[in-house]
């Protein structure tokens, strides 16, 4: 079975339609969405309507959560103060235009989905707001996959697609426990190893940050376990024009056209969510 | 050649006093008896609790008598419950406290810790980073992050790497244990849209998580640990 995994559409209907067409062309049997249907982009209601009409299983993204809960998110929500300032403006705009039924739909989305040995989340198993960057420490990356008890963890949120294979893991430990009413036990020695685990980031359909303006998503073949990273050009200028027309910050149109966030580089992109 | 690290000193690391002044004083007595001097005392949270001596214990900690050590204290789960009860914590409805101790627990804690003591508790640290060691109640994840001898190695590694620490001393579980991550490796291969990178092998340097036990949680059984930062040795102390 060919599984298409999309993430971070961000109200970019033009990009979504391009990806959906490609998914069909590639002969995918199923689609799963990793959230962030809204935020930044000009068509939040339309994107949600499209996802709902296709009955695509979807997890809740950080933007989806924030539109439901209000801006209560942890400090990991934005990579910098400047990004936060602009994000607040986008949040206000999105919050004003989303319909009640859209908000209700976003509210009931699960934070994770499971399908056999596959697990799907937006940011990380800990939080929709935690970034699992491609250069994340290997042992931490392994912990995030192990915590789901899956073999493959699909995530988004970073807007940078990647496949990270974690292999040949061995950890040697010794544990000494002191019992209050007994003699001190000798340390117990153990050697642990894990089979290959993978972290697959689906990138972003509607707001890429990998250096080009193209939409990205991934295709996973459940039989061969092969992962294909897909990158698709689309008419991003149409979305850029709509961003400006709707009164969203012009910088969103600029960065969409660049596929980067030069103006809003993270102070600490390795920062791990504390909640 | 002179051994630069021959000078020996100890840190006494305690947690879970839970208002038990008698147990705390028994630990202080034991600390005074040590042949190798203890030059720092750390209390990793849960100073307060439901014990009737709670207020007296706080007074002693706030105003040590002459010759009595001044411990460095950070906040724990019980302190967070106090903050919640007084509307300055993350859970103003005190759901976590009610779930575990019921309405009686809420009332008992409210009565045990006067408002001015809560203000003092709020001035305490969340944790301490000393040399390469993080001393904290739960972990950087939160007060209720309970690390035990059964916690998976990957989780402990996460907590250590998050804090950029080689040693992590914690108190949440109340258990006394020494969990050494002695060695390890992981191979990682990354593929992006721009191609595959060469595989990277990462080696795990030795790290350690120590549960320091509990001074006041179990009646008549106080436990704490002594740590020598120069030799990295941990000694567990049990007092009846």
Q: For B111-121, how does the pLDDT look when each residue is reduced to its tens digit (9 = 90+)?
A: 999 888 999 99
pLDDT for residue B1 is more than 70: no
What are the phi and psi torsion angles at B194 (to 5°)? -90, 5
| Dist. CA B49–CA B44, nearest whole Å | 14
Nearest to A73 by CA among A55, A58, A60, A54: A60
Q: What is the tens place of the pLDDT at every residue in A172-183?
A: 999 999 887 766
- Mean pLDDT in consecutive groups of 10 residues from the start of chain A, 275 residues: 97 98 97 96 97 98 87 57 78 92 96 97 92 92 95 95 94 90 80 94 95 96 96 97 92 89 49 52
End-to-end CA, chain B: 44
- Chain A residues near residue B184 by CB distance under 8 angstroms: 139, 169-172
Task: State the nearest Cα–Cα gap between B1 and chain A, in angstroms.
Answer: 33
| Dist. CA A35–CA A32, nearest whole Å | 9
From its phi and psi, is residue A201 left (phi > 0), alpha (psi between -120 and 50) or beta? Answer: beta
Grouping H, G, I as helix, E, B as strand and the rest as coil, residue B195 is strand
- Chain A residues near residue B193 by CB distance under 8 angstroms: 161, 203, 210, 216, 229, 231
The helix or strand, by DSSP H or E, that contains position B136, with its residue range, turns out to be strand B133-136
Contact B185 A175 (CB under 8 A): no
Query: Is residue B90 less than 8 Å (CB to CB) from chain A?
Result: no
Contact B186 A173 (CB under 8 A): no
Contact B140 A274 (CB under 8 A): yes
| Dist. CA B68–CA B60, nearest whole Å | 9
Query: Is residue B180 less than 8 Å (CB to CB) from chain A?
Result: yes
Structure-token pair, residue A161: 């697609």
Note the residue count of chain B.
Answer: 240
H helices of chain A, in order, are 13-25, 44-53, 62-69, 81-97, 100-107, 138-146, 236-245, 250-258
Burial A28-41 (b: 16+ CB within 10 A, else e): beebbbbbbbbbbb
Query: Of B153, B155, B197, which to mutate for an interface test with A (greatest number of A Cβ within 10 Å)?
Result: B153
Chains A & B: contacts with CB separation below 8 Å = 129
> Which residues 17-56 on chain A approach chain B with CB closer than 8 angstroms?
none
pLDDT for residue B152 is more than 90: yes
Contact A216 B193 (CB under 8 A): yes
Lowest mean pLDDT among A32-36, B156-160, B227-231: B227-231
Contact B192 A174 (CB under 8 A): no
pTM, two decimal places: 0.88
* pLDDT of A265: 47
What number is the ipTM of this complex? 0.89
Contact A166 B188 (CB under 8 A): yes
Task: State the nearest Cα–Cα gap between B142 and chain A, in angstroms.
Answer: 7
Measured between CA atoms, the residue of chain B closest to residue A271 is B162
pLDDT for residue B220 is more than 80: yes
Contact B202 A184 (CB under 8 A): no
- Chain A residues near residue B177 by CB distance under 8 angstroms: 175-178
Nearest to A125 by CA among A137, A140, A138: A140
Query: Is residue A59 less than 8 Å (CB to CB) from chain B?
Result: no
Query: Is residue A210 less than 8 Å (CB to CB) from chain B?
Result: yes
| Dist. CA A212–CA A200, nearest whole Å | 20
The helix or strand, by DSSP H or E, that contains position B200, with its residue range, turns out to be strand B200-204
- Chain A residues near residue B185 by CB distance under 8 angstroms: 168-170
∠ CA A112-A208-A41, rounded to 5°: 80
Query: Of A175, A226, A229, A272, which to mutate for an interface test with B (greatest number of B Cβ within 10 Å)?
Result: A175
- Chain A residues near residue B201 by CB distance under 8 angstroms: 168
Burial A229-266 (b: 16+ CB within 10 A, else e): bbbeebebeebbebbeeeebbebbbebbebbbbeebeb
Contact A12, A239 (CB under 8 A): yes
* pLDDT of A263: 39
pLDDT for residue B208 is more than 80: yes
């Amino acid at each position: 079975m060919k599984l298409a995994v999309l993430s971070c559409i961000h109200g970019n209907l033009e990009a979504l339609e391009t990806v959906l067409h490609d998914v069909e062309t590639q002969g995918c049997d199923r689609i799963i969405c990793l959230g962030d249907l809204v935020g930044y982009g000009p068509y939040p209601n339309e994107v949600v309507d499209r996802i709902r009409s296709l009955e695509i299983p979807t997890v809740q993204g950080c933007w989806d959560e924030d539109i439901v809960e209000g801006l209560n998110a942890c400090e990991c929500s934005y990579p910098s103060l400047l990004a936060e300032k602009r994000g607040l403006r986008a949040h206000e705009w999105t919050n004003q235009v989303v319909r009640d039924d859209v908000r209700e739909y976003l509210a009931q989305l699960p934070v994770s989905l499971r399908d056999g040995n596959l697990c799907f989340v937006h940011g990380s198993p800990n939080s929709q707001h935690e970034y699992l960057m491609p250069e994340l420490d290997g042992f931490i990356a392994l912990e995030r996959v192990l915590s789901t008890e899956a073999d493959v963890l699909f995530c988004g949120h970073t807007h940078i697609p990647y496949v990270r294979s974690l292999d040949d893991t061995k950890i040697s430990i010794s544990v000494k426990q002191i019992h209050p009413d007994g003699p001190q036990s000798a340390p117990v020695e153990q050697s642990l190893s894990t089979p290959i685990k993978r972290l697959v980031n689906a990138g972003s359909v509607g707001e890429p940050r990998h250096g080009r303006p193209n939409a990205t998503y991934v295709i996973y073949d459940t039989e061969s376990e092969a992962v294909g990273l897909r990158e698709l050009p689309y008419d991003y200028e149409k979305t850029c024009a709509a961003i400006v027309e709707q009164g969203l910050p012009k910088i969103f149109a600029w960065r969409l056209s660049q596929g980067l966030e030069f103006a809003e580089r993270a102070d600490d992109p390795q920062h791990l969510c504390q909640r | 050649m002179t051994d630069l690290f021959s000078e020996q000193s100890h840190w006494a690391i305690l947690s879970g006093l839970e208002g038990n002044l008698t147990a705390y004083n028994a630990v202080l007595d034991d600390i005074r008896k040590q042949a190798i001097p203890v030059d720092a005392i750390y209390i990793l949270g849960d100073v307060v609790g439901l014990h009737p001596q709670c207020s007296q214990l706080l007074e002693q900690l706030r105003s040590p008598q002459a010759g009595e050590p001044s411990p460095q204290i950070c906040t724990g789960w019980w302190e967070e419950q106090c903050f919640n009860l007084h509307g300055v914590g993350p859970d103003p409805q005190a759901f976590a406290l009610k779930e575990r101790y019921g309405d009686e627990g809420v009332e008992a804690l409210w009565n045990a810790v006067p408002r001015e003591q809560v203000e003092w508790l709020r001035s305490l640290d969340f944790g301490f980073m000393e040399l390469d060691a993080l001393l904290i109640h739960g972990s950087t994840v939160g007060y209720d992050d309970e690390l035990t001898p059964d916690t998976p190695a990957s989780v402990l590694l996460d907590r250590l790497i998050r804090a950029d620490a080689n040693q992590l001393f914690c108190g949440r579980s109340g258990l006394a244990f020494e969990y050494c991550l002695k060695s390890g490796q992981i191979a990682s291969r990354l593929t992006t849209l721009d191609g595959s990178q060469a595989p990277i092998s990462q080696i795990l340097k030795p790290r350690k998580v120590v549960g320091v036990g509990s001074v006041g949680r179990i009646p008549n059984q106080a436990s704490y640990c002594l740590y020598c930062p120069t030799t990295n040795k941990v000694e567990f102390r049990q007092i009846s």
